Structure 1
Amino acid sequence: MGAPAVEPAARRGPLGRERALRPRHRDDRVRGGARRRGERSGSEERSVTRAAALAGFLLVLLGLAVFGWKTWVYELPVLPTDPEGIWRVEMAVSVRGVGSRGSVRAPLPSTGPGQEVYDERSAADRLLFTIRTENGERTAIWRGAFDGVHEIAYGFRVRLERIETPLPTEAVRPPREIAEQYGGPTREFPSDAPEIAATLAALSLPPASDPAGRMRSVYAMVAHEVGSTEGGADDALIALANRAGSERGKTALLVTLLRGAGIPARPVLGLDLHRGATPRETPWAEAWAGGVWIPLSPAGAFFAERPSHLVALRPGSLVGVEATGAEAISYRYDALREHLRSEELAAMMVPPHRLLRAFSLYRLPVQTQSTLRLLMALPLGALIVAVFRNLVGVPTFGTFMPVLVAFALRDVPVHIGLAMVAAVIGLGVFGRLVLERLRLLLVPRLSILLCMVVLGVAAFALLGHEFERRELFTGVLFPIVILTMLIERFSIAVAEEGMRTALQRASYTLLVTVAVYPVLRDPTAEYVMFSFPELVLCIMGLLVWIGGYTGYRLFDLVRFRSFATLPGGAGAK
């Protein structure tokens, strides 16, 4: 049987010794190295493999240990945290006087269930400002002589959450102070009036051992049998007699009936916050049962829960802003939906442990953080490139060229970015072919290519301005030097390996670029890598495992699949 012709395996050198011929291609060199490694003893090969496996395992374990320490012990958020429900609320009060002394009083919110108040500010305008706290209620007081018009203000930031309160399953005796303050009749809430007793008798309430059932019965009666009218009565008994009243009137009636049923209750004055709308003062009721205050809406909006758009200003009273000694007063509320500021997020993400705090990137200035956020995502891109090159077997122009190109495209849609890169590379390759006839040296040739790339990017910016396509403006941010080197590599590949091979490698480079692109663009990945830089150790461990892998790559299995059809299953020598 005739054997295929092969080249001589060795050639005699000038000293008479034989030297091996160099392999023609890099893949031949790699396969030659693999054969030489295969000739080593099995114990040595296993030792190297174990060392790589152990090193990778230790790196991954160390990174995960620090990551778990931060997330489980100090409860740092794993995903980006910009809590919803953060509002900036401003109250502006205009008061006019003729020189007499007086005061302006306004309810202030407190930190409690469902709301966290912070960053309070005030403006007094020639008046003395104080805050008085009594029975858990905070009141802002401006005192002084009202001479002309005074513009006073108070602002705060609040973080709101939805409250769900479980209903009690059995009766619990309320504390003495709550029973005395919110359980008996008052002028505003006459729970001992005959009309209240008659209404409760007609409801046939459940026994006192079932406070949840009693609350439901009273709530259903006020919410569904008493109408809500704009400008209706604010008095509880008038609203009951007319079977209609304002929000304040229905709230007063609900509190009065609950107290008459033996359940301590109080009104709450709050603000209803909605994006794009002026905050509106709104009342609701709270009933004490099972050891907690249970919110109830007299308009039927909620029962045993409080929505996340309500902030409580004053529990126990429906009195808003009021003044004494003034000729006239007016006030308004304004609100704006906000997010955590950079310094607030940094303060939340710095762990309290001294060692972890020392290595927290959130301690750096905000300008430095913005740059590091981009850089900390690059190891993820390098990991993807290693998977494609070492496990899949995809050839690319340069080791990290796909990462750099993806990094350049992160601010534009991928299809527009790739089209811009392809156009600039096409222009550069054309220029490279023209310059080749001049036989220039390397540095001047690259400099001329750099100038051509700059002109191409500038042309894209002008086109974007002309056709009002903002995406093309971002072309000016391309790393010009990277594109220049990419053009040079493509041109060299065309000259040495042919157009087909060069286009194939360029296509693989763009394929890996598209795979890296969403990772570098993803804000979640950027946040995780910046907040937990120890995960870079995990990536290093994975890269050690990939680097220690000397088996077949996916493309090798495709290239050599024909060997499986030869006699013997793997080909014969």
Structure 2
Amino acid sequence: MTSKVPFYISVVLLILAGIALSLFRHQSYGVPWTPGETRQVWDIEARIEFNAQGTPVKASLAAPHTQNGFTLVGESSSSPGYGVSYVNTESGRRAEWSIRHALGAQTIYYKAQFLVDPQAKVEAIPPSGDIVKPTFDGPTEAAVAALIAVANQRSADDVTFARELVKAINDNESQNASLILNNMSKVEAIDKLLAYAQVPGKIVGVIELEDGRRRQTIQHMNQVWNGSKWVLFNPESAQQVIAENILVWDESNISLLDLMGGQNSQVHFSMIALEVTPQQATDDKVEADGLINFSIHSLPLEEQAMFKTIMLIPIGALIVVFLRVIIGLKTSGTFMPVLIAVAFVQTQLVTGIVGFLLIVGTGLVIRSYLSRLNLLLVARISAVIITVIMIISVFTVVAFKIGLTEGLSITFFPMIILSWTIERMSILWEEEGAKEVVLQGGGSLLTAVLVYLAMTNPYIQHLTFNFIGLQLIVLAGILLLGTYTGYRLTELRRFKPLAED
């Protein structure tokens, strides 16, 4: 007797692989488990204004990139007459505009779209080179040394050291802090204090995301390297709680805007929050990150729409296997109900049931006449196919003439399958009688309705389309059902007299 241990191991591996693929889709691509959820996208527009001097103009703006919590899914520029390009420089990404001649007031727009993405993780670039120790005058240097000594005593690492420095700088009663802030801003003071203490840090430009906010200017904050990532600090607040709506725009620590051939430049930011579907968010993220995506989302939209229905067929197959193997429901053909259910998805349920009954009923009447002619099987089936096509054509025209536009969708029925169904039912009528035809026909129609209800369920549609690993779990379930050799539920009625005794 062959051991079934390898079979059960294979089933377990299929289930584990399906769960792993689904978790990967959820964690890496941010696909939600349930439909109806929305993802937030921020449209951020930078408005650059300056006066051109009648000479060639070149403007370079620090451009953001994907970062922890935010994925850059798109960027565009509106600058009539200007050439635009996005370049990677030693100081980071920049958007550059150029024109041979410009005079007077100029306005350039740069727009970036960021997807709020908790799964977005970016490998931080560690600091490089030696830290240049700044110089101060005598009294200021003494104040710097005093603040560093206190912060060093109250800290355990570079991050807590920076936190204590921020607290000290924001202490209004500290004379040392007041002396240092006489000649510099808080963000500059903290940056120099960190450099003086040989702690790697830098100044970054951030914007605060607020729906409907207009003409916002960039803010400067400090970042400190903790050995694996950069930690952000707000120099204006002793409470080191950085809000989730803070987006780092400029990490270059050089300049937000470089302008040649113009003067009186300004950069203002406006933003608005949008809600998008999970599918749109996933498509945007895959395209933006250049991920190796083997999911359906990597296909063109036309093919995606086709596969959205195809991926539901395994669910229908699982239902058919369960109904036939466990329940014992009889159907005309093994998977004919699944294909009929697919047609119901296109025609809607009531229209589909009426059309199915009309076509099969009329086809059986015509098939009964063909049986008297004693035709060969191939010729008989071909005649039935042509008859089904004529029936569908007549019903469609009649439905259109009387104003039933729902009847136009009856053309979605699989003609070959219907033809074989009519042939099988006709033979069954001759061999087993009308009762068996009603049982198998009714079982097929009931199965098709149940499969239709499953296929049109939004949760099932969402899971099958977005998590291809679910197909492996369905396959494992079908394999397990295939090993069942016990009684079907409909067969238990044979033992009813025994139960009564």
Normalised to the residue count of structure 1, the TM-score between the two structures is 0.56
Quote the Cα distance in structure 1 between the aligned partners of 2:337 and 2:296: 27
Among 353, 376, 380, the residue aligned to 1:422: 353
Among 444, 452, 469, the residue aligned to 1:509: 444
Quote the Cα distance in structure 2 between the aligned partners of 1:283 and 1:494: 82
Question: CA 1:78–1:138 in 2, change beyond 3 Å: closer, same or farther?
Answer: closer
Indicate yes or no: 2:81 matched with 1:81. Answer: no
The corresponding residue for 2:339 is 404
1:104 offset after TM fit, Å? 1.9
Where 2:29 maps in the other structure, the secondary structure is coil
Question: CA 1:115–1:178 in 2, change beyond 3 Å: closer, same or farther?
Answer: farther
Question: What are the Cα deviations for residues 454-510 of structure 1, in whole angstroms up to 9, with x where unaligned?
Answer: 4545677899997xxxx9886654435545665776788788877776555444334
Structure 1 letter corresponding to 2:261: G
Where 1:77 maps in the other structure, the secondary structure is helix
| 1:377-456 paired onto structure 2 within 5 Å | 377-410=312-345, 417-428=348-359, 431=362, 447-456=386-395
Where 2:281 maps in the other structure, the secondary structure is coil
| 1:262-341 paired onto structure 2 within 5 Å | 267-272=203-208, 281-283=217-219, 285-288=221-224, 290-291=226-227, 292-296=229-233, 303-305=240-242, 307=244, 309-315=245-251, 320-321=256-257, 323-326=259-262, 339-341=281-283
Quote the Cα distance in structure 2 between the aligned partners of 1:346 and 1:478: 41
1:419 offset after TM fit, Å? 1.4
Q: Is the 8 A contact 2:66 2:120 kept in 1?
A: no
1:390 offset after TM fit, Å? 1.9
The corresponding residue for 1:24 is none
Where 1:525 maps in the other structure, the secondary structure is helix
Among 532, 535, 553, the residue aligned to 2:488: 553
Question: What are the Cα deviations for residues 83-113 of structure 1, in whole angstroms up to 9, with x where unaligned?
Answer: 6667776656566534234542312224554
Q: Is the 8 A contact 1:93 1:329 kept in 2?
A: yes
The corresponding residue for 1:13 is none
- Bigger Rg over Cα: 1
Q: Is the 8 A contact 2:190 2:235 kept in 1?
A: no
Where 2:25 maps in the other structure, the secondary structure is coil
1:389 offset after TM fit, Å? 0.7
Q: Is the 8 A contact 1:105 1:321 kept in 2?
A: yes
Structure 1 letter corresponding to 2:62: P
Q: Is the 8 A contact 1:219 1:254 kept in 2?
A: no
Question: CA 1:81–1:491 in 2, change beyond 3 Å: closer, same or farther?
Answer: farther
Q: Is the 8 A contact 1:270 1:281 kept in 2?
A: no
1:394 offset after TM fit, Å? 0.9
User: Looking at both structures, which has the greater relative contact order when contacts are Cα pairs under 8 Å and sequence separation is at least 6?
Assistant: 2
Among 147, 155, 160, the residue aligned to 1:209: 155
Q: Is the 8 A contact 2:162 2:224 kept in 1?
A: no
1:281 offset after TM fit, Å? 4.9
The corresponding residue for 1:147 is 102
Quote the Cα distance in structure 1 between the aligned partners of 2:389 and 2:496: 43
Q: Is the 8 A contact 1:218 1:258 kept in 2?
A: no
Q: Is the 8 A contact 1:268 1:312 kept in 2?
A: yes
Quote the Cα distance in structure 1 between the aligned partners of 2:28 and 2:231: 32
Structure 2 letter corresponding to 1:517: Y
Gaps (5+ residues) in structure 1?
1-46, 166-173, 226-235, 242-250, 352-359, 567-573
Q: Is the 8 A contact 1:104 1:322 kept in 2?
A: yes
Quote the Cα distance in structure 1 between the aligned partners of 2:47 and 2:187: 31
1:400 offset after TM fit, Å? 0.9
* Structure 1, 517-526 or 393-402: larger mean CA deviation: 517-526
Structure 2 letter corresponding to 1:391: I
Q: Is the 8 A contact 2:60 2:257 kept in 1?
A: yes
| 1:342-381 paired onto structure 2 within 5 Å | 344=287, 348-349=291-292, 371=306, 374-375=309-310, 377-381=312-316
Quote the Cα distance in structure 2 between the aligned partners of 1:100 and 1:344: 39
Question: CA 1:488–1:561 in 2, change beyond 3 Å: closer, same or farther?
Answer: same
Quote the Cα distance in structure 2 between the aligned partners of 1:142 and 1:525: 45
Structure 1 letter corresponding to 2:154: A
Quote the Cα distance in structure 2 between the aligned partners of 1:401 and 1:370: 22
Q: Is the 8 A contact 1:208 1:214 kept in 2?
A: no
Where 1:147 maps in the other structure, the secondary structure is strand
* Structure 1, 498-507 or 400-409: larger mean CA deviation: 498-507
Where 2:250 maps in the other structure, the secondary structure is strand
Question: What are the Cα deviations for residues 122-145 of structure 1, in whole angstroms up to 9, with x where unaligned?
Answer: 7985669685745x5555454665
Quote the Cα distance in structure 2 between the aligned partners of 1:366 and 1:274: 33
**Percent identical residues:** 21
Normalised to the residue count of structure 2, the TM-score between the two structures is 0.62
Q: Is the 8 A contact 2:205 2:218 kept in 1?
A: yes
| 1:92-107 paired onto structure 2 within 5 Å | 93=48, 97-107=52-62
| 1:509-528 paired onto structure 2 within 5 Å | 509-517=444-452, 520=455, 522-528=461-467
Q: What is the aligned residue count? A: 451
1:516 offset after TM fit, Å? 3.0
Question: CA 1:288–1:277 in 2, change beyond 3 Å: closer, same or farther?
Answer: closer
Q: Is the 8 A contact 2:55 2:102 kept in 1?
A: yes
Quote the Cα distance in structure 2 between the aligned partners of 1:453 and 1:314: 65
Where 1:517 maps in the other structure, the secondary structure is helix
Q: CA RMSD in A?
A: 6.0
Structure 2 letter corresponding to 1:215: R
Structure 1 letter corresponding to 2:25: P
Question: CA 1:103–1:208 in 2, change beyond 3 Å: closer, same or farther?
Answer: farther
1:276 offset after TM fit, Å? 8.1
Quote the Cα distance in structure 1 between the aligned partners of 2:119 and 2:300: 37
Quote the Cα distance in structure 1 between the aligned partners of 2:403 and 2:188: 64
1:556 offset after TM fit, Å? 1.0
| 1:24-39 paired onto structure 2 within 5 Å | none
Q: Is the 8 A contact 2:385 2:415 kept in 1?
A: no
Q: Is the 8 A contact 1:164 1:304 kept in 2?
A: no
Question: What are the Cα deviations for residues 183-203 of structure 1, in whole angstroms up to 9, with x where unaligned?
Answer: x889xxxx9599x99xx9xxx
Quote the Cα distance in structure 2 between the aligned partners of 1:98 and 1:161: 43
Gaps (5+ residues) in structure 2?
32-38, 122-126, 374-379
Where 1:99 maps in the other structure, the secondary structure is strand
Where 2:259 maps in the other structure, the secondary structure is strand
